[in-house]
């Protein structure tokens, strides 16, 4: 049965942490089963990496992406196994969009594992280490950040790429340009500007070549229309057909993540409860700042799963 006021949200890179889902794995067999499936596809032990690290290896894009995909799918399978209702809509932040498509039945899990591993590899290869960067701008509105990027690009790539919450926008591009933006941010009125510890400048024009190559892989991958509407990062709408779905995933790699609009669109659909499926509480924190009418319940341990199921039983 579909619950008309429920949405599922899937986090992306940055939410990973050593020991993630360890507590949930003690009570729900689906967690280790899901990681075992992904590990078999890639020929490396993702559960061991998530449990014991080293942290530097877990934080490498080509490991983080399949690990986060597995974590989100694992939580979704736990929800289903415990009889949780179907959500009325889903969305994922960046990489999380792939997790949402697996949960919505648009993409087989094994195919998704291969795809995100390839996506990560292409992203990492697109920009030599040290040449790209990302930075968070805190306390500036979207237009102010866009203007700041235009002023500091100076012929290099510098773009606003993650509209995460009001007053929280991430920029990406060539390292020099990002560093100029950080230096100029205070003068533009920012509370803080901080370079992020990531190895790839995601969602900007530097990813166009990677996106084109990803498109070749997507063309060979079986996709179906999702059984549950999935709002896409690029357009904040649902795909019209499978061809459109492929195109949205290609464009996603070099286009901004429009998360503020996504949460507001869900609120407009009548969503009042969202489950954040995967480690951490990043999306719950952003959601609070975007629209207080949606309660986001983070599910990454047994207590969180019990609470979310309980909330839906009484909703």
Q: Based on the residue annotation, tell me whether 93 is a catalytic residue of this protein.
A: no
CA distances 117 to 11, 46, 111, 297, Å, are 16, 12, 10, 28
**The pair of three-digit structure tokens given for residue 291, joined into one six-digit string:** 């629209």
Find the catalytic residue in 15, 70, 94, 202.
94
Range 124-128, long-range pairs (CB < 8 A, 24+ positions): 124/60, 124/61, 124/62, 124/199, 124/200, 125/210, 126/200, 126/206, 126/207, 126/209, 126/210, 127/200, 127/201, 127/206
Give the C-alpha separation, 299 to 277, whole Å: 5
Tell me which residue of 154, 146, 128, 152 sits closest to 209, measured CA to CA.
128
Find the catalytic residue in 39, 70, 203, 232.
203
Can you say whether the dihedral through the CA atoms of 12, 18, 24, 27 is positive or negative? positive
Count of C-beta atoms within a 10 Å radius of residue 185: 25
CA distances 309 to 78, 271, 273, 298, Å, are 11, 16, 11, 12
Among all residues, which ones are annotated catalytic?
94, 203
């Amino acid at each position: 049965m579909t619950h008309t006021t429920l949405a599922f949200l899937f986090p992306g890179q940055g939410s990973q942490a050593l020991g993630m889902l360890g507590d949930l794995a003690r009570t729900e067999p689906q967690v280790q089963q899901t990681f075992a499936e992904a590990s078999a596809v890639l020929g490396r032990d993702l559960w061991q990496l998530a449990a014991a690290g080293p942290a530097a290896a877990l934080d490498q894009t080509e490991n983080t992406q399949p690990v986060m995909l597995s974590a989100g799918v694992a939580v979704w399978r736990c929800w289903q196994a415990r009889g949780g209702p179907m959500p009325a809509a889903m969305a994922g932040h960046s990489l999380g969009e792939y997790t949402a498509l697996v949960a919505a039945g648009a993409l087989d899990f094994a195919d998704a594992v291969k795809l995100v591993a390839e996506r990560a590899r292409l992203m990492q290869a697109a920009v030599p280490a040290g040449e790209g960067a990302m930075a968070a701008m805190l306390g500036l509105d979207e237009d102010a950040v866009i203007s700041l990027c235009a002023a500091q690009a100076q012929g290099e790539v510098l773009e606003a790429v993650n509209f995460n919450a009001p007053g929280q926008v991430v920029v990406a591009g060539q390292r020099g340009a990002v560093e100029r933006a950080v230096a100029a941010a205070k003068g533009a009125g920012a509370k803080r500007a901080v370079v992020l510890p990531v190895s790839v400048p995601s969602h900007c024009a530097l990813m166009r070549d990677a996106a084109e190559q990803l498109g070749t892989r997507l063309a060979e991958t079986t996709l179906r229309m999702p059984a549950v509407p999935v709002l896409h990062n690029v357009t904040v709408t649902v795909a019209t057909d499978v061809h459109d779905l492929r195109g949205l995933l290609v464009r996603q790699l070099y286009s901004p993540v429009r998360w503020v609009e996504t949460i507001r669109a869900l609120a407009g659909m009548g969503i009042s409860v969202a489950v954040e499926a995967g480690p951490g509480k990043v999306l719950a924190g952003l959601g609070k700042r975007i629209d207080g009418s949606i309660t986001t319940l983070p599910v990454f341990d047994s207590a969180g799963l019990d609470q979310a199921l309980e909330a839906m039983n009484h909703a």
